[in-house]
Amino acid sequence: MPSFVATPAVTWAFAGTSNSASREIPSADAVYLAVTAFPTTSLSATIAGNSPTESYSVIAGDSTAAYFGVWIGAASGSQTVVVTSADSTSASCGLRGVDDIDSDPFDGTVSDEASPGDLDIATSSDGLAVGICNAAASSVTTSDTEVFEGPDQSGVVTHCASAPGTGGTVQINWSGTIIYFAIGANLRHAAGGGSTAAHGVSKSDQQAIVQPSMAGFAA
């Protein structure tokens, strides 16, 4: 199943309509980036000028927003990460590397505003359920595996947690403070069971990688 790399998450927070800064991207098959914010009507992000391979974003009725994106083959090292909101907002953010993820990175997307502390995610048997919540304080606890927690920005905290897929519904649970909103998905295992990308190599560079010719070698 997909797994988050040991390299610690990079987390930050901001207030306003946009945040652009150089951040350390881990060596991994992909990067998972999540943001929660209030108030806003739209969120988006880029890494090194590139849009995510796939993203999912939901705006709740009170303009609380949650967003995550997956970048397959994102270049590692110091890269410019930009998070943009359609409105002036308070946002909490985090990113972490993930290995063994499919080139079609996720399915089973779900959001929950009614009971966000108990997020049900439909999973594949070799997948990984990952959820993020918008919480009121940094005192969030989870009975699952914590992936990262973003800083508190004026009462907006992003908490990300994961649990192994079962082929059925997996529940991500949060408690310890007010949980306003949550979204999640099943991260899909790499087809064939292997990694999907060369670590730290951009998509365009990957396309240029070829096997060396055997011409001239004796049988």
Q: CA torsion, points 91, 159, 161, 187, in degrees to nearest 10?
A: -10
Look at residues 207, 172, 188, 10 and name the one whose alpha carbon lies nearest to residue 99: 188
What's the whole-number mean pLDDT along residues 58-82? 97
Does residue 87 carry a pLDDT above 80?
yes
pLDDT in tens, 140-154: 999 999 999 999 999
- Calpha distance 127→202 (Å, rounded): 24
Does residue 67 carry a pLDDT above 80?
yes
What's the length of the chain?
219
pLDDT-wise least confident of 20-34, 81-95, 99-113, 189-203:
189-203
pLDDT in tens, 200-215: 333 333 333 223 332 3
Does residue 103 carry a pLDDT above 90?
yes
What's the whole-number mean pLDDT along residues 171-195? 91
